[in-house]
Chains A and B, each alone.
Chain A
Amino acid sequence: MEFSELIRTGRAQAQLLRGPEAPPLRGTLCVTGHHLLLSPGPQSTPDLWLLLLRNVDSIEKRVAGDSGTITLRCKDLRVLQLEIEGVEATLDIARSIEALSSLESVITSFPFFYRPKGLRLGDAWHFHPPERYYKRVARETDAWRLSEVNEDFSLCPSYPRAVIVPRAVDDDALARSARFRQGGRFPVLSYSHSPSGTVLLRSSQPLTGPQKRRCAEDEELLRAVLAGARPGARGFILDTRSAQAAKQARMTGGGTEAKAAYPGWKRLHRPLERGRPLQESFVRLVEACGDPEQSMDRWLSRLEGCRWLAHVKEALSTACLAAQAMEREGACILVHGAEGTDSTLLVTSLAQLILDPMSRTMAGFQELIEREWIQAGHPFQLRCAHSAFSHARPKHEAPTFLLFLDCVWQLGRQFPLSLEFGEGLLLALFEHAYASPFGTFLCNSEKERCLCEVRTRTHSLWSGLNQPKEQRKLQNPLYVLNPLAIWPSVEPQSLRLWQGLFLRWTHPPEPAEVAWEKVWQIVTGKEETEASQPTASA
């Protein structure tokens, strides 16, 4: 086994000085292929402390005298400090952790070895494919069909096998449209809003290039979308780049739809931050949250300077714009940026949460994430390779998914009764996207997941989360089905820093959590009394 070559020292005496566990733990530290263990000794075996090595984002070592300290900064934003006996042991353990935490091979990662009790392999993997969503769409309109043109992932490596496309467009036309779009991501259905008879589509940018090329099939596809929607429907192409950036993209072969080529469609530019600047914003916010001693002025200026909440506002307001255009203006929407795998998905998934009461249920939200993020080809492995603490030069990392979760959290704060899930689920999704024993967030696309046989060889996160014992942590006790669209306020005064995530480890649990527990008591107390009433009458 290759792990053993990377493990320089198997074990050492150590003490966990800083971490969420109190009081400090002392015991034997072991490095295994995937974990760091701290066992306090045979007497108190249940107090085993365990960390997934994949969760380590950065490691810092310091030696003094005959012992050393290592500081582990984790992807879930935890900071741990271990004091280890022996200089040599410290250095060896640090080097082992460093090597093991940055392994790039997917098939040797922990999900391929994780076999929890009570779960069966293969469970919940067939939980939410696009086919299932298509059934819902087909019940309302027959303007759409399920195409398996991408069966072997040859047309578009980042799309799933099956996609939903206009019935009027055949597979050959799809193939040509795919050649006209970056990465082959031709326009596909993301969401159908039946009350207004409009649809939400997503794609990547068209490859117009400097010569302003056109593609008849691509134009036909979008024409067919309008023809299939309610009569007289118009369309908006929501480009998540600025007009200037879209124009510049032509130089490198990309571009944006020419007005004349797509009658009935109008372009809107709503620039959203992505990639490196978004990652830097995340890093700076986490840095600011790591310093409890700073003055009020410094804190507020750092909160402003990191721009994170500005990104939240932009993402939410763009999604509101798309949702409003559909619901109020009866317009169809096509969203794309450049690759169509990041800010595009952010907008389409948030717009659905705003409009679709189904997506606000526990099952519906999981389905949304599976369909609009995982299957839609958000490159989780690249984007979540490192979190906010890594010293490695960022390459493809970007917290787009985290930004999505933050926006959902803001929705939940403004509509505390309308989401069936609570903060707990959002926190769990954040953790698992960055480091997880489950296979759900592995790889960058369906194609890669098929190659790695993720579905058959790892457990699905959904089966892990949907166990009854997890429910109380994840559910919102106050949920009542709200059939309406939920329109949030996007004013700066209405948005708040997500303390539950960004200050989770530097700060004692937010009182809201304590209050939440009380709310649970009230709700369950009420249910129990209600239940006990008939027995009292018996």
Chain B
Amino acid sequence: MEHIRTTKVEQVKLLDRFSTNNKSLTGTLYLTATHLLFIDSHQKETWILHHHIASVEKLALTTAGCPLVIQCKNFRIVHFIVPRERDCHDIYNSLLQLSKQAKYEDLYAFSYNPKQNDSERLQGWQLIDLAEEYKRMGVPNSHWQLSDANREYKICETYPRELYVPQIASKPIIVGSSKFRSKGRFPVLSYYHQVKEAAICRCSQPLSGFSARCLEDEHLLQAISKANPVNRYMYVIDTRPKLNAMANRAAGKGYENEDNYSNIRFQFVGIENIHVMRSSLQKLLEVSGTKGLSVNDFYSGLESSGWLRHIKAVMDAAIFLAKAIMVENASVLVHCSDGWDRTSQVCSLGSLLLDSYYRTIKGFMVLIEKDWISFGHKFSERCGHLDGDPKEVSPVFTQFLECVWHLTEQFPQAFEFNEEFLLQIHEHIHSCQFGNFLGNCQKEREELKLKEKTYSLWPFLLEDQKKYLNPLYSSKSQRFTVLEPNTVSFNFKFWRNMYHQFDRTLHPRQSVFNIIMNMNEQNKQLQKDIQDLESKIKQRKNKQTDGVLTKELLHSVCPESPTLKTSLCFKEQTLLPVNDALRTIEGSSPADNRYSEYAEEFSKPEPAVVSLEYGVARMTC
């Protein structure tokens, strides 16, 4: 609280982000310990969590007041005009402090209290159990064992305690291999395909330099290939562009030499590094945030940002992996440099293509816990939870979510969850409201005592499950139904609902999703009613044939009709909200679309001939 000097400022204007003539709402701005709150004159509230703030900017003073632009990590951009410069300065300084905390303990999660007791909290943390997940995959088994080598984080600090390795890989081999791998991240199991008996393994780059070898590492890879009884050949996928990997050799790192390892096929897949991805997203946001953007500038900006090209590269890599397992029955080892960014993307996406369990709500949580959280994707650094090195920030996980979104677009019936679920998860990797994504690896999380001091996100999402269900999901598909996405360029689209999630005027005006959800609900209810009634009829009939039907029983059929009536009423009642929703469609007034800025054009007496530029600028807003 010591950072907050002004808690309330009145007569603040919130500018419309895309308006070209500074349309605005006036209201009051409040600053709390955790949130920035703006309440406009229609009592509509805009809450901004301090941790969501990516940057605050104070622009040059204007006649209307002092402009304050806030960019959020969830892609919300707000532009306030504060009447007095001193207020603006106070808020600006407070937000700078509040949005960049130096210590984990100052993050929201440590003060967030959803009114649960300790056992409920603990239960929440136990919802996702990775040991259970490996059991589901079918390990340990005769080929794969649980290794206790890293039980005390002695071999690799950024790995979890429990790791699965080939049965024949002894501890000395593991220790030897880990010394030959960057940050000690030696090859371990990420996913085991029970039918194909093939595995997805992950690691970091070898410290091979130009010629170094490591017998233990070679043995470990051989052990992985031997753990596959069908195909002795295994793929080693280096997710980096070849040039980057070669450059790493000069620094004593690099990639596997095919001559030194028996039975491996080596492959680069060319996903760019975190720095390229960061600046790509920055360019994308610059383009999509332009006022009065033309179609041509949008597409040329989309192209030059390279964002969709990167998304396609990640997707192609995952498809390569899934094909290796499905078509060739081969095991796969994936790595990049440190094995916690691109490797996480490719392994998790590959598993998602292979195993339909990960396409369910619970399964998707498990997947994130396994390949991202437990294997040490550096969430805190990549999301900039603390005031740290801005060069470590990168939208790696956002890209993973976007790949999943593209899959949901291509396979609208394959996922139990909907887009809202992905957006909600994205919201919380940055919110620091729950403990799941704090810290950079399991060891750090244990030291922070997150399970005692914070709550897990998953039970809260699961509780709200209804909001995240995909009404078109067909749950009948087999566990090993493989998704084979088509990655022709046509299929990649700008994810408007992510990057413009708060710019409602850009969204479709009516939601198919809501209406189908409603219908499904009604349908289920009606069917249930029918079943109830039918079973009752059956009961009566049975009794009739038994000859015990009495007059009283016959009469007792009548009282049943009220149930029927109520269910018919139910139908009408639930239809009503639908119509109400129609009446409040966003954009059903042209004012929301900013066409109304023409109003001035119409009422202006001059010029009679509106110039071309004028007209275009107005309409493009």
What is A's interface to B at a CB cutoff of 8 Å?
236, 242-243, 259, 266-271, 289, 292-301, 303-304, 307, 309-310, 312-313, 317-318, 320-321, 324-325, 327-329, 331, 413-418, 478, 480, 482, 484-497, 499, 503, 507-508, 511-512, 514-515, 518-519, 522-523, 525-526, 529-530, 532-533, 536-537
For chain B, residues 255 to 311, give those with C-beta under 8 angstroms from any C-beta of chain A. 288, 293-300, 302-303, 306, 308-309
Min C-beta distance of B533 to chain A, whole Å: 5
- Name 14 extra pairs, CB < 8 A, besides A321-B619, A415-B510: A270-B615, A310-B294, A312-B295, A320-B619, A415-B508, A478-B512, A488-B593, A491-B506, A493-B500, A499-B490, A507-B486, A511-B411, A529-B526, A533-B568
State which of A268, A317, A530 has its C-beta within 8 Å of the C-beta of B620: A317
State which of B18, B303, B520, B567 has its C-beta within 8 Å of the C-beta of A533: B567
User: For B299, B530, B567, which residue has the most chain A Cβ atoms within 10 angstroms?
Assistant: B299
State which of B489, B588, B611 has its C-beta within 8 Å of the C-beta of A294: B489
Flag if A489 contacts B299 (CB, 8 Å).
no
Flag if B609 contacts A515 (CB, 8 Å).
no
Flag if A489 contacts B526 (CB, 8 Å).
no
Flag if B609 contacts A522 (CB, 8 Å).
no
Contacts A296-B308, A417-B582, A492-B294 hold; do A537 and B506 have CB atoms under 8 A apart?
Answer: no
Q: Does B327 contact A (CB under 8 A)?
A: no
Q: Does B522 contact A (CB under 8 A)?
A: yes
Query: Once the chains are docked, how many angstroms separate the CA of A537 from the CA of B296?
Result: 61
Contacts A478-B515, A480-B579 hold; do A518 and B413 have CB atoms under 8 A apart?
Answer: yes
Contacts A300-B299, A522-B519 hold; do A320 and B509 have CB atoms under 8 A apart?
Answer: no
Flag if B526 contacts A493 (CB, 8 Å).
no
Q: Does B471 contact A (CB under 8 A)?
A: yes
Q: How many A-B residue pairs have C-beta atoms within 8 angstroms? Tell me.
A: 223
Contacts A418-B510, A514-B413 hold; do A324 and B598 have CB atoms under 8 A apart?
Answer: yes
Q: Does B516 contact A (CB under 8 A)?
A: yes
Residue of A nearest to B517 (CB): A522
Flag if B608 contacts A259 (CB, 8 Å).
yes
Flag if A526 contacts B526 (CB, 8 Å).
yes
Flag if A317 contacts B509 (CB, 8 Å).
no
Flag if B608 contacts A300 (CB, 8 Å).
no
State which of B516, B522, B564 has its C-beta within 8 Å of the C-beta of A519: B516
What is B's interface to A at a CB cutoff of 8 Å?
18, 288, 293-300, 302-303, 306, 308-309, 312, 409-413, 471-472, 474, 486, 488-490, 492-494, 496, 500, 505-512, 515-516, 519-520, 522-523, 526-527, 529-530, 533-534, 537, 561, 564, 567-568, 571, 578-579, 582-583, 585, 587-590, 592-593, 595-596, 598-599, 602-603, 608-612, 615, 619-620
Min C-beta distance of A520 to chain B, whole Å: 11
B530 CB contacts on chain A under 8 angstroms: 529, 532-533, 536
A503 CB contacts on chain B under 8 angstroms: 490
A304 CB contacts on chain B under 8 angstroms: 295-296, 299-300, 303
Query: Once the chains are docked, how many angstroms separate the CA of A184 from the CA of B537?
Result: 74
Flag if A515 contacts B611 (CB, 8 Å).
no
Contacts A511-B410, A515-B412 hold; do A522 and B471 have CB atoms under 8 A apart?
Answer: yes
Flag if A533 contacts B410 (CB, 8 Å).
no
State which of A300, A416, A530 has its C-beta within 8 Å of the C-beta of B571: A530
Residue of A nearest to B518 (CB): A526
Query: Once the chains are docked, how many angstroms separate the CA of A293 from the CA of B293?
Result: 29
Contacts A269-B610, A495-B295, A536-B533 hold; do A416 and B526 have CB atoms under 8 A apart?
Answer: no
The 9 A-B residue pairs with the shortest CB-CB distance, nearest first, are A304-B299, A492-B298, A299-B489, A300-B303, A515-B412, A310-B295, A317-B619, A296-B309, A529-B526
B299 CB contacts on chain A under 8 angstroms: 300-301, 303-304, 309, 492
A313 CB contacts on chain B under 8 angstroms: 295, 620
Min C-beta distance of B17 to chain A, whole Å: 11
Flag if A331 contacts B612 (CB, 8 Å).
no
Flag if B585 contacts A484 (CB, 8 Å).
yes
Q: Please name 28 pairs of A and B residues whose Cβ atoms are closer than 8 Å in the assembled complex, sorted by A.
A: A268-B610, A289-B490, A296-B303, A296-B312, A296-B492, A298-B489, A300-B303, A304-B295, A309-B299, A321-B598, A414-B508, A416-B512, A417-B515, A484-B585, A484-B588, A486-B588, A487-B587, A489-B506, A492-B295, A493-B494, A493-B496, A493-B500, A507-B488, A522-B520, A523-B519, A526-B522, A526-B523, A533-B526
Query: Once the chains are docked, how many angstroms separate the CA of A507 from the CA of B486?
Result: 9
Min C-beta distance of B296 to chain A, whole Å: 5
State which of B493, B496, B602, B608 has its C-beta within 8 Å of the C-beta of A325: B602
B471 CB contacts on chain A under 8 angstroms: 522
Flag if A487 contacts B588 (CB, 8 Å).
yes
Query: Once the chains are docked, how many angstroms separate the CA of A525 from the CA of B564?
Result: 19
State which of A489, A507, A530 has its C-beta within 8 Å of the C-beta of B593: A489
Flag if A309 contacts B295 (CB, 8 Å).
yes
Min C-beta distance of A112 to chain B, whole Å: 39
Query: Once the chains are docked, how many angstroms separate the CA of A415 from the CA of B589?
Result: 13
B589 CB contacts on chain A under 8 angstroms: 487
A532 CB contacts on chain B under 8 angstroms: 530
A267 CB contacts on chain B under 8 angstroms: 608-609
User: For B295, B522, B585, B589, which residue has the most chain A Cβ atoms within 10 angstroms?
Assistant: B295
Flag if B308 contacts A328 (CB, 8 Å).
no
Min C-beta distance of A478 to chain B, whole Å: 6
B615 CB contacts on chain A under 8 angstroms: 268-270
Contacts A267-B609, A296-B308, A416-B512 hold; do A307 and B595 have CB atoms under 8 A apart?
Answer: no
Flag if A324 contacts B595 (CB, 8 Å).
yes
Query: Once the chains are docked, how many angstroms separate the CA of A511 from the CA of B410?
Result: 6
Min C-beta distance of A226 to chain B, whole Å: 15
Residue of B nearest to A298 (CB): B489
Query: Once the chains are docked, how many angstroms separate the CA of A279 from the CA of B585?
Result: 36
A485 CB contacts on chain B under 8 angstroms: 588, 590
B293 CB contacts on chain A under 8 angstroms: 491-493
Min C-beta distance of A256 to chain B, whole Å: 9
Flag if A331 contacts B602 (CB, 8 Å).
yes
Query: Once the chains are docked, how many angstroms separate the CA of A532 from the CA of B516?
Result: 20
Min C-beta distance of A2 to chain B, whole Å: 43
B492 CB contacts on chain A under 8 angstroms: 296
Residue of B nearest to A318 (CB): B619
State which of A327, A416, A490, A533 has its C-beta within 8 Å of the C-beta of B508: A416
Query: Once the chains are docked, how many angstroms separate the CA of A241 from the CA of B530?
Result: 62
Min C-beta distance of B181 to chain A, whole Å: 33
Flag if B510 contacts A328 (CB, 8 Å).
no
Flag if A310 contacts B296 (CB, 8 Å).
yes
Min C-beta distance of A522 to chain B, whole Å: 5
Flag if B509 contacts A486 (CB, 8 Å).
yes
Min C-beta distance of A363 to chain B, whole Å: 21
Contacts A487-B587, A533-B526, A533-B529 hold; do A297 and B303 have CB atoms under 8 A apart?
Answer: yes
Flag if B611 contacts A243 (CB, 8 Å).
yes
Flag if B412 contacts A494 (CB, 8 Å).
no
B413 CB contacts on chain A under 8 angstroms: 514-515, 518
A518 CB contacts on chain B under 8 angstroms: 412-413, 472, 474
Flag if A487 contacts B496 (CB, 8 Å).
no
Query: Once the chains are docked, how many angstroms separate the CA of A493 from the CA of B534?
Result: 51
B512 CB contacts on chain A under 8 angstroms: 416-417, 478, 519
Flag if B564 contacts A533 (CB, 8 Å).
yes
Flag if B298 contacts A493 (CB, 8 Å).
yes
Flag if A487 contacts B519 (CB, 8 Å).
no
Flag if B296 contacts A488 (CB, 8 Å).
no
Min C-beta distance of A283 to chain B, whole Å: 18
Flag if A413 contacts B612 (CB, 8 Å).
no
Flag if B595 contacts A487 (CB, 8 Å).
yes
Query: Once the chains are docked, how many angstroms separate the CA of A416 from the CA of B410?
Result: 19
Query: Once the chains are docked, how many angstroms separate the CA of A493 from the CA of B288?
Result: 8
Flag if A529 contacts B523 (CB, 8 Å).
yes
Residue of A nearest to B408 (CB): A511
